[in-house]
Structure 1
Amino acid sequence: MRNFIVFVLLLFIGIQTNAQNAGNGKGKISGKVIDAVTKTPVDYATIAVFKQGSTSPFNGISTDPKGDFLLENVAAGDYKVTVDFLGYQKFTIAHVIVTNGNTAKIGNVLLQPNQKQLKGVNIVAKAPIIENRIDKMVFNAANDLTAQSGAAIDVLKKVPQVTVDIDGNVELQGSGNIRFLINGKPSSIFGASLADALQAIPASQIKSVEVITSPGAKYDAAGTGGIINIILKDSKVSGINGSVNLTAGTRQENGSFNFNARKGNVGVNAFFSGRAQLRSTVLNTNNRTTTGEDNNTTNLFQDGSSNSSRGGYQSGLSFNWSITPKDDLTASFGFNHFGNHSYGGTNQQESLLDAFGNTLREIRSLRNSDSRFSAYATDYSLNYKKTFAKEGQELNVLFTSSYSKNMVNYLQQQDYINNDMASTGLRGNNPGKDRETNISVDYSHPVSKNFTLEGGAKLVIENLNNITNTDTLLADGSFVNNPDQTYAFNYKRNIYAGYLSASTSLFKNFLDVKFGLRNEYTTTTADFPGVVIPGYNTVAPSAVISHKLSAAETIKLSYAYRIERPDYRDVNPFYDISDPHNISTGNPNLKPEVSHAFELGYNKSFNSGANIYVGAFYRHNKNDMQNYSTHFDTLVVNGKEYTDVLLEQRSNIGTQTSVGGNIFASVPVTDKLNLRSNIFVVNRTNVNPGVNRVSAFQYRINLNASYQFGKDFMGEIFGNYNSSSRTLQGRRPQFFFYNIAVRKQFWDKKASIGLVATNPFNEYINQRSTTTGPTFNQASLRQLPFRSFGITLSYKFGKLEFSKNKDKDDRVDNGDQMPSEGGGGRR
């Protein structure tokens, strides 16, 4: 910790030094870049400033979505300025005179399209790892070395404001209620098993991760923590190109293939990716002490191991047709699969002691278990986009549908060692089907230069069918169907939504304001016996106010009203008895969780490439949904008695208030060395009727250092620490890991080879947690193998072509070269 404090001090000293250096300039350079043919703004064009006689620029900036640029803090002098963008001829202004206190106005720069087809393109531009935008934070995963051999879950561990525990549970700003999207669209792949889905997406397939903590009215109101949107790699540039990525390792293996082809107004994109986590053994110890009503004490000691493996693949095909320059049609299809297998044995010793410590009963047993899970999901969508002559006027019609089939098979048998009790056990299978359909219409209309209206409507249709078949072990070793634990149910939910939002500039562009209102009406039916789930209406306002202190310095304040609807797993009354001493079930009477979230953020970029973001947030939840455990000396489930049981159930428990902050900083110490750090802190306070008030402080720190050893050779070190924190009934364990990676590029950067090591000097990560209640106290230890070594290979092939019909989305997606959207890229 002492070393970390020293590092952070040095980090901010470096930022301050950059800031002071940036402030010595006295003049400015401004202008606007326009396509000479279409007369439309050129977004993300490169402005480079040279000292007279120099061949290397000393300063530069990119144009904004309106083609404007403003370069500040330029010392007085005579400079050469160039304007450049892919597919255009470079524009050079030989003499730009800057004087103290004045702005050198270049005016409109007309870029001429390059009529010649490029035989090959070698891009040297590099997008920043983190981009802070007015409505979201973007993590460009393609530029990250240490996550290259992992999965989506490994990428999320590096994203600011996101925390991931050892089991793959994800929190955004301290909340686990997150809406996950792929390419901006929902997918039933997340409904079956979020942890498995995030483990099945290779990191090499991810272009970027968007974090939206205060979604506007255009977004669904679901997810009190916010939205995480995973953007997969694709390409919209002309030509035929693609990439291949392969990883072999001691703990996990993955691979991906991307192919893009575009000619004229027609384009096709296809990809296939797969990932496998090799078998690993987790050691488990659990010790629970319970005091009964008769003052007798029960001690339960469990000691065992579990072997597990998982894997999956994704595939996708999309077709894009630019019918006219103003009409665009995109169709996509995807097929995904993932699953896991876990099996192991647990030695159990259950002792009953009287008030004086005398042993009244002792039962020793061996519990063996085996479970398998698999899911198949099909996604398809059709999107029509129409733009109009008026800049910013746009119509989008989107249809998406996702269908998944999943299956759970499990077997649990308990054999008694020190007495003549007959073996007990359960066997079952649990097939399910999940279909979700979304139909949305969005329209944006610029009323004036500084005022834009947006509106739309959406219909969400969800249908889930589930069957539970349970068999009970008989004394003769055979299984017979248990009718009390065999049933089927249908779960349906429809959401009808509409929204309206407006964005404008106030007080002569001093403030940029966007506010909106979304209304959602939800109906739910489930054929649980005796359960009726009433419909409810949700009115969700949102607002964001931002002010540019300078061209590179912004402060914003936002508010969002969010809800978290209980899903079918939360309300399903089925009892999971795979461990008879630790049983879980759903709660059909759960109410939606409601959240009021405020966020204040400050972002500043420096001419040197340094960047800092400081944010603070406040979130208040009502009907807060939490898992809560209750101890039973004897629990009767469908006519069968179970002894010394800890029953876990999700419940609406009072309110939760979260106050926290996030600091992100990136500093290019030299041309070769870049340091990056992110600090996240949150304090949660739960107020629950009948339960003690609980306050929990949690923090996350990560450090990243990358070094460019040579033109084609780079290394990176990353470390992450998640602190332990209190829960309603105990304490969650801490989590620390570190990665080391190097990469060598060759064949004109078309190919690369990389080496990655995770926790190379520690075989296991020890996870100690506690759970307490009025009559019980439980301590658990899990030892998880986390050490791994891997080698990655990647190859990019094909040629890129550029035509004068440029669209702002036609950006090169060339691995670590350039983002798909505009934003503070530095060239």
Structure 2
Amino acid sequence: MRKLFLTILSLTTLATFAQRPTTQTKPIKITGTVVDKDSGQPLEFATLVVQSVDDPSKVDGGITDFDGKFTVNVPAGNYNLKVEYISYKSFTLNNQNLTSDKDLGKIALTLDATQLEAVEVVGERTTVEVRLDKKIYNVGKDLTNSGATISDALNNIPSVDVDVEGAISLRGNENVRILINGKPSALAGFGSTDALRQLPADAIEKVEVITSPSARYDAEGTAGILNIVLKKEKVLGFNGSVNAFVGDPANAGVTFNGNLRTKKFNLFTTLGYRYRDAPGNAIFDNTYTSGSFDRVFEDRTYNRLDKNLNANLGIEYFLTENSSITAAGFYRQSDENDLTENSNQRFNDGSVTSETFREEDQNEDGDTYQVSLNYVNNFNDDGHKLTADFQYSKNNQIQTSVIEENQNIPTNELIALENVFEDEEEREYLIQADYVLPMGEAQFEAGFRSTLEQSITDYQLDSLDQASGNFVTNENLTNKFTYDENVHAAYVQYGNKYGKFSVLAGLRLENTILKGKVESEFDPEALQEELGIDVDVNFDKDYLGLFPTVNLVYEISETENFSIGYNRRINRPRGWFINPFPSRSSRTNIFQGNPDLDPAYSNAFDIGYLKRWKKLTLTSSVYYQKETNSFERVQEETGQTTTDGIEIVRSIPINLSTQNRYGAEASVLYNPTKWLRLTSSFNYFKFSTEGFFNGVDYGTDNSSYFARLGSKITLPADINWQTNAFYFGPRANAQTETKGITSINLAFSKDIFKDNATVSLNVSDLLNSRRRKSFTETEFFTSRSEFQWRQRQVTLSFLYRFNQSKNDRQRNGNRNGGGDDDYEFEGGQS
């Protein structure tokens, strides 16, 4: 099969290049072998270009086979010869007078340091490609990702931060849109990033950071878009890998990536199982100006046990040489148990007057399904293309919680015993088509997308009536909330290159329909009074908006350019921000949605600069964003107290009037020697917010920054040592100040079994310092808190590659790097 493929590919290449006179009776044979100068390994699919000196329009050539050998037949004559291979310096022989067969012998190519970062070397490094509307980080062999999740891997990407609770932000802004393979997906969760904590990082091929999205992308996400591209090998034959890992605290699992490719189909799969215990802790020290106690101190411990199975299976069938249809299915089954223990001390005048112990035992069983169909027709090799997609996703989560609270001081007695039942079902349909028409150096695109989402949350709270000994349903909190979000969009965009200028401009039209329906015994008017605002809990809203985008690049040279981007974006409220019924994570602190929330809109500008030297690459940008109707979560008193006299505090999202955000960022890749690679990034941002709610001014001005520093060192015996350090500076909003957070990840790896396997040891949060410390102050209470979602993690992993040597993986990455639909500019990769 491999030789058949090689023969077909060689004939195709020769047919493309060859323009031979039919009168030639005895062609000249050119032979040779192309190898890597350092390793001596043959370079498969290197290209030999043979150009006539007398008539440069006559070009012939061929490619190397799996042993790096090539054979090309040409008529006798004068030729310029060139051997090329991606990321390597070219080999040239000019003015060769060929009158007889010529053997060029062994041609040793060396890596071109100025192009290293243009190549996705899957086996060795993380690189970045800069496009007109995005930066693409080829995740590569990041040692700290071994045994990790996608959420962990994102935390190693410049401009991205994943906080201690798993919330993802881009340039310090949490309103970021998460896509999988360019589309909304159940793999990323429905409006939540929890699913990314369950999927293995091994499945990622690359991450696209899109801070100035073009019109082809959703307008959702005022901060921008993170597009996670999953692996799908394109190499003939059967190949894959198995990664098994074990860690402390309890963390074990196995992931299998497999691929079978023939001439007519490509079968690919990712299977994974994970068992993970994630212990965490938190403390809250609250003081009050009213109520039965002047201080309440809470000490919480979290024991989270997650067991989940992921299966992704797909097949791409090649209808013709230029068209294919892909069918894929995804299934995730999760079984989670979270035990939260809360020791609560209440003070008056510095003395403990009451002490309680609260225990919440929550079990959650979830199933997620997704099926998709994709049709691709490449009309020619110039990029003329039509794609069509259909996707259906369903997610069902059933939670049952038992909450028991007992008083220890001054008496031993049961305060409350509650049973909580929550059944959440989410469905999503997606229909999409995109058309790309190249026109010389220009490119025209058009397409549409319809996304229909519905989530139904069925919530019931039963409390023990100690007088009767029976559980009684709390009708004021029991409810069923149905939320629909339907978005219909169409776009056009045009890209062209004018000398050293490249431009990509587009316009997207989106119609957003938001519907909410509450079914409850609770009186809607009483609920409005509970919210403190005049809202309609059963709503039907319709928004129509235009979203222009413009991206410009001026190419100073092949190694230096400037870019300017503008885009308009939207932030739609998710279901849990809309649901007006309060959550019950604590008797004294509740979260309540706001049905009156409207979408927020932003206008964003970005100016970038890129420069490459021989061993160093710099990417940088400054940006400005103005958002109207921006969301903000505020805390306020409810006027209610618990049965034992503690003030109940509520968090609620609101639309503030405006938010202005300014920032600058820079990333550096530095390869001083073969054994050392350094990466660093820095992002500074400043934001100001204006707005009032219930007569309170929530305006604020604040700034913060975050920085990363990474190193990869090759030690003796070819042991790789990688260190990633991260610091997020202090920050604040109108009510809360948060201190800076430092974390360090450390990893070692060694290739064994003739480079077919790799053993790795990594430590996540080496200093056990990834804790959020914050201080909140309002007119009626203050709160000092410290929260650690997960303690330091040590993981040992073993990765075995079959029918896929390390060098094969590198060469495959070279051939398959880059996106399918991107409008590139020359010299634009770094």
TM bracket (short chain): 0.7 to 0.9
8 Å contact kept, 2:300–2:340:
yes
Alignment RMSD (CA, Å): 3.4
Q: Could you say if the C-alpha distance between residues 394 and 569 of structure 1 is closer, same or farther in structure 2, counting changes exceeding 3 Å? A: same
- 2:548 alignment partner in structure 1: 541
Report the Cα distance in structure 2 between the residues aligned to 1:614 and 1:86, rounded to whole angstroms. 41
> Helix, strand or coil for the counterpart of 2:140?
helix
8 Å contact kept, 1:152–1:201:
yes
CA drift of 1:730 comes to: 1.1
- 2:669 alignment partner in structure 1: 666
| Cα offsets for 1:382-422 (capped at 9, x unmatched) | 11111224722111111111111112222222222345676
CA drift of 1:378 comes to: 0.7
- 1:6 alignment partner in structure 2: none
| Cα offsets for 1:690-732 (capped at 9, x unmatched) | 4153122211111111122357432212211111211221112
- 1:787 alignment partner in structure 2: 792
The yes-or-no answer on 1:194 pairing with 2:172 is no
> Helix, strand or coil for the counterpart of 1:579?
coil
AA matched with 2:270: F
AA matched with 2:724: F
- 2:176 alignment partner in structure 1: 178
Q: Could you say if the C-alpha distance between residues 291 and 55 of structure 1 is closer, same or farther in structure 2, counting changes exceeding 3 Å? A: closer
The yes-or-no answer on 1:211 pairing with 2:209 is yes
AA matched with 1:661: A
**Mapping of 1:449-598 within 5 angstroms?**
449-475=440-466, 477-506=469-498, 509-528=499-518, 530-531=536-537, 532-598=539-605
The yes-or-no answer on 1:796 pairing with 2:792 is no
8 Å contact kept, 2:635–2:651:
yes
- 1:805 alignment partner in structure 2: none
Structure having greater relative contact order (Cα 8 Å, sep ≥ 6): 1
TM-score (norm 2): 0.80
Choose from 7, 15, 19 the match for 1:37. Answer: 15
CA drift of 1:818 comes to: 4.4
CA drift of 1:668 comes to: 0.8
Q: Could you say if the C-alpha distance between residues 480 and 297 of structure 1 is closer, same or farther in structure 2, counting changes exceeding 3 Å? A: closer
- 1:748 alignment partner in structure 2: 754
Report the Cα distance in structure 1 between the residues aligned to 2:479 and 2:123, rounded to whole angstroms. 59
AA matched with 1:702: R
8 Å contact kept, 1:715–1:741:
yes
Report the Cα distance in structure 2 between the residues aligned to 1:199 and 1:91, rounded to whole angstroms. 50
| Cα offsets for 1:471-504 (capped at 9, x unmatched) | 0122155422222222212222221111111111
> Helix, strand or coil for the counterpart of 2:15?
coil
Q: Could you say if the C-alpha distance between residues 55 and 417 of structure 1 is closer, same or farther in structure 2, counting changes exceeding 3 Å? A: closer
Report the Cα distance in structure 2 between the residues aligned to 1:180 and 1:687, rounded to whole angstroms. 28
CA drift of 1:261 comes to: 0.8
| Cα offsets for 1:258-290 (capped at 9, x unmatched) | 11111112111122023332252x333211112
**Mapping of 1:2-81 within 5 angstroms?**
35-38=13-16, 56=37
CA drift of 1:39 comes to: 5.2
Percent identity between matched residues is 25
**Mapping of 1:414-453 within 5 angstroms?**
414-418=405-409, 423-446=415-438, 448-453=439-444
Q: Could you say if the C-alpha distance between residues 308 and 703 of structure 1 is closer, same or farther in structure 2, counting changes exceeding 3 Å? A: same
- 2:363 alignment partner in structure 1: 372
- 2:691 alignment partner in structure 1: 688
The yes-or-no answer on 1:708 pairing with 2:698 is no
Count of residues paired in the alignment: 716
The yes-or-no answer on 1:345 pairing with 2:341 is yes
Q: Could you say if the C-alpha distance between residues 782 and 463 of structure 1 is closer, same or farther in structure 2, counting changes exceeding 3 Å? A: closer
8 Å contact kept, 1:740–1:757:
yes
> Helix, strand or coil for the counterpart of 1:36?
helix
Q: Could you say if the C-alpha distance between residues 542 and 765 of structure 1 is closer, same or farther in structure 2, counting changes exceeding 3 Å? A: closer
Report the Cα distance in structure 1 between the residues aligned to 2:236 and 2:173, rounded to whole angstroms. 42
CA drift of 1:643 comes to: 4.1
| Cα offsets for 1:355-399 (capped at 9, x unmatched) | xx9x9x944322222223332111111111112247221111111
Report the Cα distance in structure 2 between the residues aligned to 1:605 and 1:150, rounded to whole angstroms. 32
- 1:237 alignment partner in structure 2: 235
Report the Cα distance in structure 2 between the residues aligned to 1:733 and 1:533, rounded to whole angstroms. 41
- 2:116 alignment partner in structure 1: none
8 Å contact kept, 1:757–1:789:
yes
8 Å contact kept, 1:176–1:225:
yes
CA drift of 1:346 comes to: 2.0
Report the Cα distance in structure 1 between the residues aligned to 2:619 and 2:16, rounded to whole angstroms. 37
AA matched with 2:500: F
CA drift of 1:591 comes to: 0.5
Report the Cα distance in structure 1 between the residues aligned to 2:155 and 2:304, rounded to whole angstroms. 22
8 Å contact kept, 1:733–1:767:
yes
- 2:305 alignment partner in structure 1: 309
AA matched with 2:471: F
AA matched with 1:604: K
> Helix, strand or coil for the counterpart of 2:319?
strand
Choose from 304, 311, 322 the match for 2:318. Answer: 322
Report the Cα distance in structure 1 between the residues aligned to 2:480 and 2:718, rounded to whole angstroms. 59
CA drift of 1:255 comes to: 2.0
CA drift of 1:623 comes to: 0.6
Report the Cα distance in structure 2 between the residues aligned to 1:424 and 1:125, rounded to whole angstroms. 56
8 Å contact kept, 1:622–1:656:
yes
- 1:631 alignment partner in structure 2: 637
| Cα offsets for 1:613-662 (capped at 9, x unmatched) | 011111111111111110234269xxx99840110011112211111111
Structure 1, 83-92 or 229-238: larger mean CA deviation:
83-92
Report the Cα distance in structure 2 between the residues aligned to 1:374 and 1:494, rounded to whole angstroms. 27
- 1:734 alignment partner in structure 2: 740
> Helix, strand or coil for the counterpart of 1:197?
helix
Q: Could you say if the C-alpha distance between residues 139 and 710 of structure 1 is closer, same or farther in structure 2, counting changes exceeding 3 Å? A: farther
AA matched with 2:421: N
CA drift of 1:338 comes to: 3.4
| Cα offsets for 1:524-570 (capped at 9, x unmatched) | 22212543232111111111001111112222111111101111111
CA drift of 1:36 comes to: 3.2
Choose from 128, 148, 163 the match for 1:130. Answer: 128
Structure 1, 453-462 or 774-783: larger mean CA deviation:
774-783
CA drift of 1:152 comes to: 1.2
Q: Could you say if the C-alpha distance between residues 623 and 790 of structure 1 is closer, same or farther in structure 2, counting changes exceeding 3 Å? A: same
Q: Could you say if the C-alpha distance between residues 667 and 546 of structure 1 is closer, same or farther in structure 2, counting changes exceeding 3 Å? A: same
Choose from 774, 784, 797 the match for 2:779. Answer: 774
8 Å contact kept, 2:180–2:187:
no
Report the Cα distance in structure 1 between the residues aligned to 2:799 and 2:177, rounded to whole angstroms. 32
AA matched with 1:148: S
Report the Cα distance in structure 1 between the residues aligned to 2:645 and 2:488, rounded to whole angstroms. 44
Report the Cα distance in structure 2 between the residues aligned to 1:825 and 1:753, rounded to whole angstroms. 35
Give structure 1 stretches of 5+ with no counterpart: 1-33, 41-53, 69-81, 97-103, 108-122, 801-810
Report the Cα distance in structure 2 between the residues aligned to 1:815 and 1:644, rounded to whole angstroms. 64
8 Å contact kept, 1:235–1:813:
no
AA matched with 2:480: A
Report the Cα distance in structure 1 between the residues aligned to 2:263 and 2:611, rounded to whole angstroms. 40
TM-score (norm 1): 0.80
AA matched with 1:130: V
CA drift of 1:230 comes to: 1.5
Q: Could you say if the C-alpha distance between residues 192 and 372 of structure 1 is closer, same or farther in structure 2, counting changes exceeding 3 Å? A: farther
8 Å contact kept, 1:143–1:815:
no
